[in-house]
């Protein structure tokens, strides 16, 4: 596809500063408070019916795709990734560039 992907991760133990977690997840847990989570569909419906006073609406759906587990790339495959680490905390902030074609 020729896209460059920019990745920026929160450092360990800083998710408490993530605005999405603070503003959204507390609403979701408040929405399903006191209701038994008896099935995936019940959980999805409760998450999907969450709203805020500011007009945020949540959409939720079950991903029914089957994904293989335990797949590991080889060192050779990993070394072909065009990874460019940023100067500031390159272990948390980096870009993945398209591979150069031969």
The continuous run of DSSP H or E covering 75 comes out as helix 75-79
Domain boundaries, the chain: 5-97
**Closest to 52 (Cα-Cα) out of 26, 83, 87:** 26
pLDDT tens digits along 10-45 = 777 776 666 777 778 888 888 888 899 999 999 999
Average pLDDT, integer, range 52-76: 91
In the structure, what pLDDT confidence band is assigned to residue 78 with cuts at 50, 70 and 90?
confident
Q: Model-level pTM? A: 0.54
């Amino acid at each position: 596809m020729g896209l460059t992907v920019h990745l920026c991760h929160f450092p360990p133990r800083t998710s408490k500063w993530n605005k999405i977690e603070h503003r959204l997840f507390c609403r979701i847990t408040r929405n399903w408070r006191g209701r038994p989570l008896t099935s995936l569909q019940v959980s999805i419906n409760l998450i999907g019916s969450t709203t805020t006073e500011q007009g945020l609406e949540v959409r939720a759906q079950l991903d029914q795709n089957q994904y293989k587990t335990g797949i590991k790339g080889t060192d050779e495959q990993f070394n072909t990734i065009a990874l460019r680490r940023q100067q500031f905390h390159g272990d948390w902030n980096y870009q993945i560039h398209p591979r150069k074609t031969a």
